[in-house]
Amino acid sequence: MLRRFHFERNKDHSGVSGTGVVAEGVLFTDTKECVVHWLGKRSCINIYHSIEDVIDVHGHAGSTQIVWDDPEDKN
């Protein structure tokens, strides 16, 4: 089952993406790979090897939270 998430950004360090919900993403079922779709006037799509990579690149020391929209599959 795909697992959806979004970014909740409290502080915009770059001045580009803003605050609030700034991106949406999906974690794939059979891999650790993720796709992130940035919202707003400069929207784009990025592919990452893991959710940990996403957090390392875009977490900004806790200024951006990953919020899971779907529960974790326990199977």
- Maximal C-alpha separation, the chain: 41
Which residues partner with 20 through β-bridges? 9
pLDDT of residue 50: 92
Residuewise pLDDT in 10s, the chain (75 residues): 899 999 998 766 666 666 679 999 999 988 789 999 999 888 999 999 999 999 898 877 777 889 999 888 766
Q: How wide is the angle at C-alpha 64 spanned by C-alphas 56 and 48, nearest 5°? A: 40
pLDDT of residue 32: 87
H/E segment holding residue 4: strand 3-9
